[in-house]
Amino acid sequence: MKNDAIMTHLKGRILDVYNENLLVNGTTIKWFNDLKVILSEFFGVEIAHYLIFDVDSFKPLREDYAFTKNMPTIKWLDIKAFFDERNFTENPIWDSENDMNKLVKILLRDHDDKPIGLLAMDSTVKWKEFSETENIKEFVCTISKLVKTIRQSIRLVQQENQFRHLFSVTKTFNSTLDSGEILNGTLFAINNAFPQIEPTLILSNDQDRKTSVPYKLFDYTSERPATVDAYVSGEITTEIEEDLGVRLINVPIKGKQGIYGILQLAVPTDYIFSTRQKEFATSLAETTGNALENAKLYIQSHKLVSDLQLINETSHTLNTNISLDEMLVFLRNQLIKSFMPEQICFVFIEKDEYKIIGASNDYFHTDEGQLYIQHVSNHFNKVKEPLFIADFNRLTKLKYGYRSLIAVPLKEQNTITGFSIVLHKEPYYFSFDAFKLMQSLIQHSSLAISNSALRNKLQEMVNRDHLTNLFARNYLDKYVESSMKVDDCGVFVLIDIDDFKQVNDKYGHQIGDEILKQIASIIEKKVGEKGIGARWGGEELALYYAQMPLEEGIQNCSQLLMMIPLETNPSVTVSIGISSWKQSEDIDYRHLFHQTDIALYKAKNKGKNQLSVMEVSQLL
């Protein structure tokens, strides 16, 4: 009867604890302080601690700092055998000198017989007497109901706070398309919900990086296996970081269409990430993922329009009647505007040789620049697909200045005729979307560039004499007329092979053609970059030197006069007529040609194998 009265009194006092603590905003310590008073009054207990059961382990109340500091994690499976026969034990429950072993441990269970907590207190005489009665079962059951009710109340209050905060964050996310604000809101929510946890954002490379929010880029080659697993599977993973003495919890930031990164939480190694915390972190990460996805889709929709306009503008301009050089300069400017690279290069492949085009940066003529060209050319020798390198220095032990690289081939009927390269010093600078856009841009430009190159070749064929490869007469006419409009002076020369008909009659026209080609070769070698040579017609050839005084022109022609008999087989001689013009003289191209023709006629009449000069004053 005495114990029954004690039990009735105990239940009443415990009910008071329940009523007083049910609506106390999720407080986890007040109810236990009240319970300790009851244990002290009824059993003379001076020491009492409570351990919460979560997931698969018991952990002390956070507010019980002294006990928490020296208390290791208790796994349920490690101590389950001690409670098979009854719900309390005074035996040591693990191999340790911890004071916990000296206390009586009372296991609290729910209606499904699953553990919900562990009450540890000193074993007093009154307790031992009470524990031997039938009332002990009702006592443990009553305490369990209290803990369960308080636990549910606390969980509801905390969930309410978390979901209220999650709702607030979601509301903010839905009102912005700024990824920086979204990421900042995510960190703010984590810091508010779990102030003891250090969060890190690990974002995929296709995210907008124009944000002041601290983050790191996700990299398959350097990330920890558990982080990669979380990114690939979309499930939470954990691992111990021995060097830092923390446990890393990887929560995928995922939307409906993909995974955009990892929210990594660093907690102490003995920290138990509760189911409630897991649910909140998962909900927050998914909310963040959906918000980033919406922002990305919005940006992508606008960018897609911009990209299509870029491709359309580029295709339209490149298919207008502009030169190949103008075309490549325009394309270079488009690449700069769209991708903001630090170096650009265009390379054409001609007869297995690589030619760097003038629209390229000078950097590619350096030894280091040549390394990138060689690497890209080796790639295209093996495969015909574009090349995207996020960090070039990962491919070599040497450290090079430019780490981000995109290379796209120029194709003509599935044959690679060249390629374009863009570089940037910062690794992971170019996004995969930028890679795809450049690929599309170059592919649309390839046909126009190929057509322009073909037009240049056709124009070159029209401008050149097919036998001697000297310029044709029409080209020379236009060249001289243009020079006389912009230059200060020039020298015009006509060359005629002496007795060429006799050469043809004696050796045949085939040898005659060879003689023409030999003389053309001598002219090109001698003239070089000083002027141009042309086939005037038949056995007549012509030279023109822009910005050259008459005296220098005579000297060059005198040397030709001596070289041609020595370097032709069979040996032939030539007659040369020379005239010049100056801007101060009133003379046009028709008069210039006429006076040169007269000079050539004089050289022929004076015995051939010589040159004659016609001054303007003589003609006038």
Three-state SS sequence of 7-70: HHHHHHHHHHHHHHHCCCCCCCCHHHHHHHHHHHHHHCCCCEEEEEEECCEEEECCCCHHHHHC
CA separation for the pair 311, 315 (Å, rounded): 6
CA separation for the pair 360, 345 (Å, rounded): 4
Burial of 137 (0-12, 13-18, 19+ CB in 10 A): exposed
- Residue 165 in any domain: the answer is no
- Shared-domain flag, residues 414 and 502: no
- Residue 306 in any domain: the answer is no
- Shared-domain flag, residues 354 and 498: no
- Residue 601 in any domain: the answer is yes
CA separation for the pair 64, 42 (Å, rounded): 23
- Shared-domain flag, residues 259 and 293: yes
CA separation for the pair 306, 467 (Å, rounded): 51
DSSP helix/strand/coil, 108: strand
Q: What is the dihedral of CA 19, 22, 25, 28, to 10 degrees?
A: 100
- Shared-domain flag, residues 272 and 419: no
pLDDT for res 245? 77
- Residue 288 in any domain: the answer is yes
- Residue 307 in any domain: the answer is no
Q: Which of 269, 298, 327 is the last residue of a domain?
A: 298
Number of structural domains in the chain = 4
- Residue 464 in any domain: the answer is no
- Shared-domain flag, residues 492 and 600: yes
- Shared-domain flag, residues 524 and 568: yes
Reported pTM: 0.44
Count, in order, helices (H) and strands (E) of the chain: 18, 21
Residue type, 394: R
- Residue 312 in any domain: the answer is no
- Shared-domain flag, residues 89 and 199: no
Q: Is the pLDDT of residue 414 over 90?
A: no
Phi-psi region of 179 (alpha: psi -120 to 50; beta: other; left: phi over 0): alpha
Q: What is the dihedral of CA 260, 265, 270, 273, to 10 degrees?
A: -70
Backbone angles phi, psi at 219, to 5 degrees: -135, 115
- Shared-domain flag, residues 397 and 323: yes
pLDDT one-digit tens code per residue, 224-271: 889 999 988 999 998 888 777 788 899 998 888 888 889 999 887 766
State the average pLDDT over residues 70-95. Answer: 81
pLDDT one-digit tens code per residue, 149-174: 887 777 777 667 667 777 777 777 77
Range of 615's domain?
473-619
- Shared-domain flag, residues 611 and 505: yes
pLDDT for res 156? 74
What CATH number is associated with residue 515? 3.30.70.270
Q: Which of 267, 298, 329 is the last residue of a domain?
A: 298
- Shared-domain flag, residues 486 and 583: yes
- Shared-domain flag, residues 200 and 278: yes
Q: Is the pLDDT of residue 437 over 60?
A: yes
What CATH number is associated with residue 380? 3.30.450.40
State the average pLDDT over residues 166-183. Answer: 76
Residue 509 to residues 176, 500, 565: CA-CA distances in angstroms?
A: 83, 10, 19
CA separation for the pair 22, 223 (Å, rounded): 46
- Shared-domain flag, residues 150 and 182: no
- Residue 390 in any domain: the answer is yes
State the average pLDDT over residues 534-544. Answer: 91
Express as a percent the part of the chain with pLDDT over 90. Answer: 31
- Are 574 and 477 in contact by the 8 Å Cβ rule? The answer is no
Three-state SS sequence of 144-193: HHHHHHHHHHHHHHHHHHHHHHHHHHHHHHHCCCCHHHHHHHHHHHHHHH
